[in-house]
Structure 1
């Protein structure tokens, strides 16, 4: 079997609500989902999800190769771009290609990916995460009631502007999830909106009444000293890593003892997740996949010994995709469809990519981390 080509498509996910974080809110309820389809000479096709704008530059590393050598091809892709670097958008392209290669590897074996990577159990524990900063209190409660109905006992809320608003919202979700457990796990995600002093003050204020399991990305992703300062200044664990584009970017954080929960973004590929999980395991640290795009890392998460919990952001799938997963029992139940379990109906995909919004959570505000008091 050889890789012979690719097709790049775009679809959308309709959240049915506005989503965002401390940096901003998306202007529409639909967001783009890039889809990469790898073709082979035997008719099998592999699916990768996530931005892949550098695919023309990177594809040569896998063209003509047997996709069953996915880990080796991952290194070949990194080698292909080593002079210019693989961080950022290029790493997303590597991740999408890697995901599609693993999808093909499992399809060639006629088994679901969770079997291919060695998992014994199809269930992946998860936590609820509604990207909910734009929701008013009533809408927030309705959303997390839906998560509670599916058995969730843990939730992560977006916050970081107003400590009293965040406290009220966390207490609301604590009460809702309290129907499933006497001690819900509650997390808050600041998405790099604070400096280290702000982070300690904000989290310490919350912790007067709320037992936080972790605080996520309290300061900039690369600020090892800042993350370590926050870690030693609050009771909650510090979680970070979803925006680190390469295994080497974790090294300063781990050396500084700056992270308690090692996170991995869902769009960076299967190989990156497996390697990051192994490095974290060597430090006795748990690993947690972050973000959505049909939960492609869930299959790999089922196979690693130090998986903690997988972020679950919604109950439905992008338009034109059917995904062999069930959101139930407080997590993800993986199916038996070969590969990632994702089928693509290209007739239903969006024909063109929507223009990139100039506002939203992907745009860092000018005064982020530079405010004397949080924004109301």
Structure 2
């Protein structure tokens, strides 16, 4: 039953086309051209295997890989069912570099692999192991709404997404000209009609006054939420905004520690909390945050990595939204099923994922630890 081997891989998965959001439009970042991924494959002495992964955009995966390589050997011989104990042990192994950021994001790949393995041992999809409330979750598309795309292209992609079974559309805002944001947003709302759920994401673009002006300007558009209107760590500002606007506020994706997400909950700073499993450190800390969010009667709409979050959203008491971005799909053999505005929970054990054979073309580094010393 003990862990017999652990393998970490570092991958650079190219996007079909570079994308730009408000951080690019305002000169803070360059266009995103690839996803950098840390994988973890854990095998036990009885032949079961678990797969987990973490990711970064633009920078950080080499550091994640280095940290995983330092602590990974500690997994050998451990009972993989003791996920909480293992998490604590690895956290203390890297305690001098903190309990958030790169270190815990490296642990996220390990933690996800352990949960995948546990569900496989039970012969259940992860959602059902966790106690699923439903077999599918609401799904919205983001990848068609980035700022580098002309508005006609955004509208066309939205139409294709809806025809393919997607239930909602999110577009990026936060350009230097708020007027241009409003023009694009109004054009999309008119194209979709009032009945299609529509979200916007500003990627931390505005100050408090600017966010309030935007929020008041779009109140009649019936948005599901305004995402990341302020700096991710401005919990007080988000609380003020949430209290002032009728349109719901969503944020939390950039926060890499449980206490920062809990602060959003405590201050009633969000209507939709958006934790990200790889960023917050794995499924183990995510579940702590989700329990507190439910206690506070909040909606949860986890950020990105639909391959993991479809399971966690299905196991949340309130019907959640999951974000459809297909960038990681080439890494895996399997595809998620979408129809009628919802994403189905895979019926395969665990996450229901295996690495694709072509993934080796994007692998930059690999290390393996084995209990037999080979």
1:324 touches 1:334 (CA, 8 Å); kept in 2? Answer: no
Residue in structure 1 matched with residue 251 of structure 2 by the alignment:
240
Distance 1:152 1:325 in 2: 12
Counterpart of 1:350 in 2: which secondary structure?
helix
The alpha carbon displacement at 1:15 in A equals 4.2
Deviations 1:57-114 (A, max 9, x none): 3325533222222233233333333343121111211111111001111111222212
Structure 1 residue corresponding to 2:218, chosen from 196, 200, 206: 206
CA separation in 2, counterparts of 1:349 and 1:38? Answer: 18
Q: CA deviation at 1:23?
A: 0.5
Kept in 2: contact 1:3–1:62 (CA 8 A): yes
Gaps of 5+ in 1: 355-376
Q: State the distance in 1 between where 2:159 and 2:201 align.
A: 20
Q: Which residue of 1 aligns with 2:58?
A: none
Matched, 1:146 2:160: yes
The answer to whether the 8 A contact 1:106-1:116 is kept is yes
Partner of 1:58: 71
Contact between 2:167 and 2:340, CA under 8 Å: does it hold in 1?
Answer: no
Question: Mean alpha-carbon deviation: is it higher for 230-239 or for 76-85?
Answer: 76-85
Shift of 1:43: 2.4
- State TM-score, norm by structure 2: 0.84
Q: Tell me whether 1:158 sits opposite 2:172 in the alignment.
A: yes
1:36 counterpart residue number? 40
The answer to whether the Cα contact below 8 Å between 2:13 and 2:362 also exists between their aligned partners in 1 is no
**How many pairs align?**
348
SS across alignment from 1:319: helix
Q: Indicate whether 1:169 and 2:211 are aligned.
A: no
Matches within 5 A, 1:1-376: 1-24=1-24, 27=31, 29-51=33-55, 52-53=64-65, 54-130=67-143, 132-161=146-175, 162-178=177-193, 182-207=194-219, 209-267=220-278, 268-292=281-305, 294-314=306-326, 317-346=328-357, 348-353=359-364
- CA distance, structure 2, for counterparts of residue 184 and residue 31 of structure 1: 29
SS in 2 for 1:322: coil
Alpha-carbon displacement from aligned partner over 1:232-265 (angstroms, at most 9, x marks no partner): 3332111111122222122332232222211111
Deviation at 1:28, TM superposition (A): 6.2
User: SS where residue 302 of structure 2 aligns?
Assistant: strand
Gaps (5+ residues) in structure 2?
56-63, 366-374
Whether the 8 Å contact between 1:126 and 1:152 is mirrored in structure 2 is yes
RMSD of the alignment, in Å? 2.4
TM-score, with length taken from structure 1: 0.84
Q: Answer whether contact 2:314 2:345 (CA < 8 A) is retained.
A: no
